[in-house]
Structure 1
């Protein structure tokens, strides 16, 4: 019997709201009932992602979109415009395992996106990714950053990132680069300092140490480009 998202969530959390977008409290925080609607689809989650990637790749190819399962072919044609600049399409990064096998992610993703890890665990993850992909696909990491106004402040772990001065941040980013991380995105939300001030310090004193390579469809030697997001 098919159950509604609200019924599924009620078994595992405490309801905080009303309506279609009820919010429930779980051990790991807050989540909306909207989130689980996809899990109630007749298509298994792993199959939905694979179909989505296949559809995107097909839509980006030049010429009419051919997708038999959507009844698109020689008799019924549709072309998606505009097309990507590069014939290889728009790079797709898969976050975590995405309920797929590691082999499928390595073959079909253009990059791997994973939460930050301490250097020992990071070394294992980047080595595994490089081995599965032959070293030709980048490994990406988002990171929560609380940048202290004291440039000499030591780095200390916080949830999903660091609280640190810029000098220790540079050391940390260089370590990540040496371990194979190609791109780091910063989440600046926990900062007590004005965001403009933090961005200025990053732009003046951190980013120049990590110049972004010229964009190409397949960049083989990628150093980290720290990006505030």
Structure 2
């Protein structure tokens, strides 16, 4: 992880194994990461449930996908993409965190086999204990978009075991008010939430699709930056 350097990924600084002591009963691995003074996307969703527009969501999606594309280009599966794993720096840019569950795919081990992650965000193939790869992150990313749309993930009020059962049984969750979203956003989400992994989009493909009649990568407007900056009391950004 120390070699990972990307503008949308929290920097890993060092790792330490702490042997059994008064701080750790059975030994623990401690990770030192880049300090982030801002909050997670989860808090932004909770605090601004009625003001997040598709323009804001598109920028968050674009920068998250940029970070995922970087990880996937290095054959790394994040395995825990969700709103809690998305932080913002002081300028409102996305920083992916929660790298402790990442897995490196190799020629000898081209797929993951262990059920890892947070139940509501797990892909069906993960829940069913099938082999899975990079596209498991894309499903989780799609569920994260549902969080931004509906202010919480599917099956939020269910227990973990019930959630796993529902994900395996139902496949792609349904939106409560699909008519409130643009056709572009609904299509974009459908590309993420394909139960058939072969039809599920990659991070690179999603970056080239977009859902606001423009490419996602071109959505870095001052309005969107100011939205996030004001949420953290940072004031408007300065014009270029």
Q: TM-score normalized by structure 2?
A: 0.21
Question: Which is richer in strand?
Answer: 1
Question: Which is richer in helix?
Answer: 2
Q: TM-score normalized by structure 1?
A: 0.21
Structure of larger gyration radius: 1
Which structure ranks higher in relative contact order (CA pairs < 8 Å, sequence separation ≥ 6)?
Answer: 2
